[in-house]
Amino acid sequence: MITLSHCIDLDRRDELAPLREQFSLPENTIYLDGNSLGAQPKAALKRAQQIIEHEWGTDLIQSWNKAGWFQRPLTLGNELAPLIGAAQDEVAITDSTSVNLFKAVAAALHIQKQNPATAAKRVIVTERSNFPTDIYILEGINHFLGQSYEIRLVDSPEALYQAIDADVAVVLLTHVNYRTGYMLDMPALTAHAHQHQALIIWDLCHSAGAVPVDLHAAHADFAVGCTYKYLNAGPGAPAFIWVPKKHQAQFLQPLTGWWAHRSPFAMQPSFAAAGDIRGALCGTQPMISLSLVACGLDVFKQTTMEKIRAKSLALSDLFIQLLEQYCGSHPLQLETPLEHERRGSQISIAHPHGYAVMQALIARGVIGDYREPHIMRFGFTPLYTSYQDVWKAVHILADILDHKKYDANLEKNAVT
Amino acid sequence: MITLSHCIDLDRRDELAPLREQFSLPENTIYLDGNSLGAQPKAALKRAQQIIEHEWGTDLIQSWNKAGWFQRPLTLGNELAPLIGAAQDEVAITDSTSVNLFKAVAAALHIQKQNPATAAKRVIVTERSNFPTDIYILEGINHFLGQSYEIRLVDSPEALYQAIDADVAVVLLTHVNYRTGYMLDMPALTAHAHQHQALIIWDLCHSAGAVPVDLHAAHADFAVGCTYKYLNAGPGAPAFIWVPKKHQAQFLQPLTGWWAHRSPFAMQPSFAAAGDIRGALCGTQPMISLSLVACGLDVFKQTTMEKIRAKSLALSDLFIQLLEQYCGSHPLQLETPLEHERRGSQISIAHPHGYAVMQALIARGVIGDYREPHIMRFGFTPLYTSYQDVWKAVHILADILDHKKYDANLEKNAVT
């Protein structure tokens, strides 16, 4: 029997526990949705004030050089790089994940077309259960290219190996599934793709800052991801894109804005690629939202991804154990793998009235979210989630289920 | 002889003068670069604080619905619409100008291909002197489409009429030239393009908030523009895109992110276009930078574009008159048309040592900027530029030129 006092004791012994103080969290709330929107670092407001009052208000146009606005997508990219196993000058923080996906897919297809050995390949592989925007972007590119590719949607992680065959030009996979929390085997799938001369793009939206990622160790080709989930960069903060040095010279994609030009201020009437990580840039970036990415990253510098991972697994293991202990009699279906190697930093559980139960939880201050069909998602963010939080969340869930304190007829609203 | 006291008198009688108080401007500075980065509305800091502390910090994930984050690109688009002659539900504030240009050009090419009467057209027209990103984006799209189009770069505004002929699919023009301040005749060029069954896209980066624009009166097809210049939305704030209702159902472009889906939260594995202005969206937007767009727009609500235009012309006329009066003996070349109908809200003057002279001006607190070759740009932003500012700026310029207080051998740095 796991008790609250046991969880309090775990918190007392938790080396990461003091980091919670660096976040502003609402009172009477157990926030288990950092996998969707990370909490606010307390440093964010002061940083925003500095940018608005000083960089924008006082220095105005001069801040492009003086404050390093022009370089900021790359300087912040360099700060993020260690969290995903990227080298310096390989990461840009810019645009949205969807736009960055577009760049990576277009560039990968272009590279394959340039190589006589791969030019004829006409299949793009992804998972049917991938986050929809990944699939939509593939559809958008394919439509633009006259439907000249087959988009092969694969129905299970196991089936990926067979689906990635000699016809495949590009593979686009999300490392940790947004719905189930299933974590794919990045090194194995990358090696498999390369055996078939396919290029592989990893979507790290649910990985960066959540699980250790080593893109170089896996020999991956490209990666994208968002900063506003586990990286706590703020709502809709610009996303990142990783282009390793091995591909930078050939990284050509259609969003050839002036920030990707070799000499943007020469104002030349013809595009000339920078040939480095700037090739992943397009146009002017939202400097206030972009700058706050630093506040989230600063917290990560105080610990390691290994320590974060250890606590993440401890939190999600505890959650599962407490579910068994307190909610074992209810029709809950664990959608996330028990196996550590295959688990991200969230736990997804299906319940026939998942939507209604989640609304009841939210009304009681336990903030998770809902995804079709029937799935309640609970994110565990070791920088600010405590063991007590987990105990209290399950305790409230048990109360809601035991006493049917949810409206089984509740109509679904727009869900986030 | 125009005196400082005459200018002080003009300020006293200026109906817009009180609006200057709503902006935070640095002391001892004459800011004539609002055409590059608009000044900071004093309301911006408080608004940022509300978003960071309350919407992000306290309400967290619930703000997507509760605070209207999901709708914000469109609600703010509706606020901007009247400034450019757009109707409600036709403007989105999202992504960068470069990315929005890409969407508009791709969608326009697609529409032309669908129409048997225009499907064979293979020419895209723009000006060689256009802001480079506009040309680069055309090149990027064309490269992606296997170089199947000719990009026709036109060398003068007058030559546009002949260049837009029966072979032209799409015309992309910047209403006010970034370098010279020359304003094209939007209604006439739009009518000419339509006579030849070409679709026309207007880049309003140097028009929105600077000069009256009436997209519907001109029967234009698409428009894009940025919010961080005359609209004072903050450094790199998201740009806008205008898709009139007449084209919304056919507005298909390759950046088909989930925000453009008919039911984004149904999480369907196949894209289904919303068929309305949401078709111009792609992915999640930088909510803090985006939200501050409202602070800039709020100032515009207190006056009219006609009053702004009248003061803009009065300011730039005064600048020209004072240049003649005080700097007539120096080799200054006016690059901006004297004709009001063809003039934006900036004055560009060439000088053999334009770069060095501009650096000397900046050192003396007169902030303009420099563009290749030899051009000094001075932006006039009626919401916060005074007649006295203009007098003082020219007075300082005259002193610099009269006494050669600039370093003719100065090497060029990265320029903004």
User: What is the share, in percent, of chain B residues with pLDDT greater than 90?
Assistant: 96
- Which pair of structure tokens corresponds to residue B35? 């055409």
State the smallest CA–CA distance between residue A223 and chain B in angstroms: 17
State the smallest CA–CA distance between residue A101 and chain B in angstroms: 9
Chain A CB within 8 Å of residue B237 CB: yes
Spell out where A144-219 has E strands.
Answer: 150-154, 168-174, 199-203
pTM: 0.97
| Res. A411 pLDDT band, cuts 50 70 90 | confident
| Spatial separation of the C-alpha atoms in residues A241 and A232, rounded to whole Å | 17
Residue B373, preceding peptide bond in cis (omega within 30° of 0): yes
State the smallest CA–CA distance between residue B324 and chain A in angstroms: 28
| Spatial separation of the C-alpha atoms in residues B209 and B230, rounded to whole Å | 5
Q: Is the pLDDT of residue A110 over 80?
A: yes
B200, β-bridge pairs: B171
Q: In this complex, which of A70, A254, A362 lies closest to B144 when CB atoms are compared?
A: A254
**What residues in B contact A60, CB-CB < 8 Å?**
26, 31, 33, 37, 39-40, 367
Q: Is the dihedral of CA B320, B323, B324, B326 positive or negative?
A: positive
Chain A CB within 8 Å of residue B238 CB: yes
Q: In this complex, which of B254, B268, B362 lies closest to A144 when CB atoms are compared?
A: B254
pLDDT tens across B219-251, in order?
999 999 999 999 999 999 999 999 999 999 999
**What residues in B contact A153, CB-CB < 8 Å?**
269
Do residues A216 and A86 make contact, with C-beta atoms less than 8 angstroms apart?
yes
Averaged pLDDT score across all residues of chain B: 97
pLDDT tens across A164-215, in order?
999 999 999 999 999 999 999 999 999 999 999 999 999 999 999 999 999 9
Question: Shortest CA distance to B289 belongs to which of B31, B73, B33?
Answer: B73
**CB-based burial, B8-33: b 16+ in 10 Å, e otherwise:** eebeeebebbebbebbbbbeebbbbb
pLDDT (average), residues A346-357: 97
Contact A65 B414 (CB under 8 A): yes
What DSSP state is assigned to residue A368? -
Burial class (CB in 10 A: 0-12, 13-18, 19+), A176: buried
pLDDT tens across B309-351, in order?
999 999 999 999 999 999 999 999 999 999 999 999 999 999 9
- As a dihedral over the C-alpha atoms of residue B112, residue B118, residue B123, residue B128, rounded to 10 degrees, the angle is -60
State the smallest CA–CA distance between residue A196 and chain B in angstroms: 25
State the smallest CA–CA distance between residue A203 and chain B in angstroms: 14
| Res. B89 pLDDT band, cuts 50 70 90 | very high
Model pLDDT, residue B415:
52
Interface test mutation site (partner B, options A240, A271, A371, max chain B beta carbons within 10 A): A271
Contact B52 A45 (CB under 8 A): yes
Q: In this complex, which of A26, A37, A56 lies closest to B234 when CB atoms are compared?
A: A56
Q: Is the pLDDT of residue A414 over 60?
A: no
Catalytic sites of A, residue numbers: 131, 203, 228-229, 377
Residue A269, preceding peptide bond in cis (omega within 30° of 0): no
pLDDT tens across A25-63, in order?
999 999 999 999 999 999 999 999 999 999 999 999 999
Averaged pLDDT score across all residues of chain A: 97
| Res. B266 pLDDT band, cuts 50 70 90 | confident
Alpha-carbon A16 to chain mean position: 21
Contact A96 B95 (CB under 8 A): yes
Catalytic sites of B, residue numbers: 131, 203, 228-229, 377
pLDDT tens across A111-145, in order?
999 999 999 999 999 999 999 999 999 999 999 99
Q: How far apart are the first and last CA of chain A?
A: 34
Q: Is the pLDDT of residue A415 over 70?
A: no
Strands of the A150-154 sheet, one edge to the other = A91-93, A240-242, A222-225, A199-203, A168-174, A123-127, A150-154
Is A228 marked within a binding site?
A: yes
- Chain B residue with CA closest to A227: the answer is B286
Model pLDDT, residue B372:
87
- Chain A residue with CA closest to B135: the answer is A269
Do residues A111 and A97 make contact, with C-beta atoms less than 8 angstroms apart?
no
**What residues in A contact B133, CB-CB < 8 Å?**
257-258, 283
- Chain B residue with CA closest to A414: the answer is B265
- Reported as half-sphere exposure (CB side, CA atoms, 13 A), residue A245 has a value of 5
pLDDT tens across A286-313, in order?
999 999 999 999 999 999 999 999 999 9
Chain A CB within 8 Å of residue B44 CB: yes
Write the ipTM. Answer: 0.97
Do residues A379 and A368 make contact, with C-beta atoms less than 8 angstroms apart?
yes
Q: In this complex, which of A60, A61, A234 lies closest to B288 when CB atoms are compared?
A: A234
Model pLDDT, residue A372:
87
pLDDT tens across A247-287, in order?
999 999 999 999 999 999 888 989 999 999 999 999 999 99
Contact A60 B31 (CB under 8 A): yes
Q: How is B320-351 classified by DSSP, letter by letter?
A: HHHHHHHHTTS--EE-S-SSGGGB-SEEEEE-
pLDDT tens across B358-396, in order?
999 999 999 999 998 899 999 999 999 999 999 999 999
Q: What is the amino acid identity at position A394? A: V
Spell out where A63-211 has E strands.
Answer: 91-93, 123-127, 150-154, 168-174, 199-203
Is B133 marked within a binding site?
A: yes
What DSSP state is assigned to residue A416? -
Question: Shortest CA distance to A54 belongs to which of B38, B271, B40?
Answer: B40
- Count the neighbouring beta carbons within 10 Å of the beta carbon of residue B159: 12
User: What is the share, in percent, of chain A residues with pLDDT greater than 70?
Assistant: 99
| Spatial separation of the C-alpha atoms in residues B85 and B216, rounded to whole Å | 6
| Res. B414 pLDDT band, cuts 50 70 90 | low
Contact A52 B44 (CB under 8 A): yes
Model pLDDT, residue A74:
98
Q: How far is CA B123 from CA A130, A228, A266, B157, in A?
A: 38, 41, 26, 18
Contact B287 A253 (CB under 8 A): no
pLDDT tens across A311-321, in order?
999 999 999 99
